[in-house]
A and B are shown apart, each in its own frame.
Chain A
């Protein structure tokens, strides 16, 4: 690599870092993304220029097909489907890293330049190990992301699939990965054996990715996506080691760090350890058990009554959950909020860290409905305010407002951080039925003295309340 290319790569890496820094503020975030994209374009152009003259047909075909598919997906996807789309893109990145390592292997070890040696003898110990890791991490990222996509998209059941003896299967598979990996990197030297070892290794990596993700339930999928995001960065870094390219190493590790942080945030908000998410099979045993049913003293209110309560309120906090997005009621809640604000009522939104299907998902869904972001408050900022709030409207949220998490030590979700909506003067819970949430447990909020259930679809309830208010 010539010095000038190296310098341009450094500039590109700096642009990624500056871009991420700009994303720390809502106002500059969009610019940050553009700076980052410009850094990527620079890296691509510099690479192409540096390669001199060569057969362009392969690259052109790949660029045209990839860009078109990417653009179409990006502009067609619904905001509610964002998690599975991130999963797909992520899988593509991981898959690309594995393919680059494979291609490099074919060129250097099996091609004209090499031939007749082990991978290690041609690429060195570090090169061989990074190539094998690149295929492994990239392969796991690819197949794992595709399973995550299929689960979130509803193509396969979102329920955890627990194979009998899955821990033993995973251990055996892990050992096989190690053995075949070592064979491919250090021992196979006949070209036919070597090629077989590498493809077998890719196959095992893909199977491993599938087995790692199928036991994880749909509700935990956001954690998996964050984690796979981190893996795709790591895979890119490994590819950087294979190619001796610092740009890939820097950039890949940035993404790796980002994924780890978001994974940690998700785990904390769900009060689960990462190990518990990965090995727990949470949600498999809870289906049916203790879901709904045994409620006493539940008070319900009609839409007209709920509107009257809102009419007398000075301060209102909306608590949106994923149910709100499923009912496509984001616009309805914004209209109701604007009507209330027009009457001088203070309106805020309380966002739990796991509202939606990935960290910050609910903020995007509300932003799409033109809700100003300065009305959205995160859990820690707003939890002290419920005590002094007249009315809280819970829309399609369940487990994240369950007081059992705070005061019932026997509850499976005990210790999970919740929004303290039960402290408000009146809580309106808009929900279709008394059915259980993801955790599959009863919610003691529903029978609290200050709670009123509004049994309705979120959108119908919101538009109904709005009509009642406007009629006055």
Chain B
């Protein structure tokens, strides 16, 4: 009765609410880095991409997987790097 799909759906709904709670408290000052950081997290699809690129056949699946890995890595690496670059610029007045 409790299929993987239903478990997934439960997790999905709860995580959306969790997301609202966590994000709503981020101050406006940090919204740009937050957006780029959240963006990097959406690169989690890399996990699926890795699995896709490792399948033995057919060749089309592998090539699609390879593209997916490249796309997702741009998202992940670029996203985290630029977020870090932004966040280290923020500093207080009393140093």
B7, B8, B88: residue with the most chain A Cβ atoms closer than 10 Å: B8
Q: Which of B7, B37, B44, B83 contacts A43 (CB 8 A)?
A: B44
B71 pairs with A232, CB closer than 8 A: no
B interface vs A, CB < 8 Å? 3-5, 7-8, 11-13, 15-20, 22-58, 60-93
Q: Which residue of B lies closest to A142 (CB)?
A: B71
Residues of chain A lying within 8 A (CB to CB) of residue B45: 93, 96-97, 100, 235-236, 239, 248, 252
A62 pairs with B67, CB closer than 8 A: yes
B86 pairs with A79, CB closer than 8 A: yes
A73 to B83, CA, bound (A): 12
A163 interfacial by beta-carbon distance below 8 Å: no
User: A220-249 CB contact bits vs B (8 Å, 1 = yes)?
Assistant: 000001100100110111011111111111
B65 pairs with A368, CB closer than 8 A: no
A237 pairs with B12, CB closer than 8 A: yes
Q: Which residue of A lies closest to B54 (CB)?
A: A54
With A62-B73, A89-B74 known as contacts, the answer to whether A376 contacts B25 (CB < 8 A) is no
- The distance from the CB of A252 to the nearest CB of chain B, in whole angstroms, is 7
Residues of chain B lying within 8 A (CB to CB) of residue A44: 46-47, 50
Q: Which residue of A lies closest to B73 (CB)?
A: A66
A251 to B16, CA, bound (A): 9
A392 to B37, CA, bound (A): 34
A20 pairs with B73, CB closer than 8 A: no
Residues of chain B lying within 8 A (CB to CB) of residue A259: 35, 38
A99 to B46, CA, bound (A): 11
A33 pairs with B37, CB closer than 8 A: yes
Interface size on A, residues (CB 8 A): 115
A272 to B16, CA, bound (A): 24
Q: Which residue of B lies closest to A341 (CB)?
A: B93
Q: Which of B69, B83, B84 contacts A63 (CB 8 A)?
A: B69
Q: Which of B30, B48, B71, B93 contacts A239 (CB 8 A)?
A: B48
Q: Which of A23, A90, A229, A374 contacts B30 (CB 8 A)?
A: A23
User: A14-41 CB contact bits vs B (8 Å, 1 = yes)?
Assistant: 0011011101101101101110110010
With A107-B61, A372-B91 known as contacts, the answer to whether A51 contacts B32 (CB < 8 A) is no
A23 to B89, CA, bound (A): 14
A189 to B28, CA, bound (A): 51
A361 interfacial by beta-carbon distance below 8 Å: yes
Selected interface stretch from A310-318, A352-360, A452-460: A352-360
- The distance from the CB of A52 to the nearest CB of chain B, in whole angstroms, is 9
- 8 A-B pairs whose Cβ atoms sit less than 8 Å apart in the complex: A17-B22, A24-B26, A32-B37, A37-B80, A95-B68, A226-B35, A233-B41, A248-B44
A51 to B53, CA, bound (A): 11
A interface vs B, CB < 8 Å? 16-17, 19-21, 23-24, 26-27, 29-30, 32-34, 36-37, 40, 43-44, 47-48, 51, 54-55, 58-59, 61-63, 65-67, 69-71, 73-75, 77, 79, 82, 85-86, 89-90, 92-97, 99-100, 102-104, 106-107, 110-112, 124, 126-127, 225-226, 229, 232-233, 235-237, 239-262, 265, 351, 353, 356, 358-361, 363-364, 367-368, 370, 372-376, 378
With A58-B69, A62-B49 known as contacts, the answer to whether A82 contacts B92 (CB < 8 A) is no
A70 pairs with B73, CB closer than 8 A: yes
Q: Which of A23, A51, A69, A127 contacts B74 (CB 8 A)?
A: A69
A358 to B49, CA, bound (A): 30
Residues of chain B lying within 8 A (CB to CB) of residue A368: 89
A363 pairs with B23, CB closer than 8 A: no
- The distance from the CB of B62 to the nearest CB of chain A, in whole angstroms, is 5
A383 to B92, CA, bound (A): 22
A219 to B45, CA, bound (A): 30
Residues of chain B lying within 8 A (CB to CB) of residue A247: 44, 47
A40 pairs with B74, CB closer than 8 A: no
- The distance from the CB of B6 to the nearest CB of chain A, in whole angstroms, is 9
Residues of chain A lying within 8 A (CB to CB) of residue B5: 124, 126-127, 241, 244
A254 pairs with B70, CB closer than 8 A: no
With A100-B45, A243-B51, A374-B93 known as contacts, the answer to whether A253 contacts B39 (CB < 8 A) is no
Which 8 A-B residue pairs are closest in the complex by CB-CB distance?
A66-B73, A257-B19, A62-B69, A70-B78, A360-B31, A372-B93, A74-B81, A70-B77
With A36-B40, A255-B42 known as contacts, the answer to whether A51 contacts B51 (CB < 8 A) is yes
Q: Which of B7, B71, B77, B86 contacts A71 (CB 8 A)?
A: B77
- The distance from the CB of A8 to the nearest CB of chain B, in whole angstroms, is 11
Residues of chain A lying within 8 A (CB to CB) of residue B56: 54-55
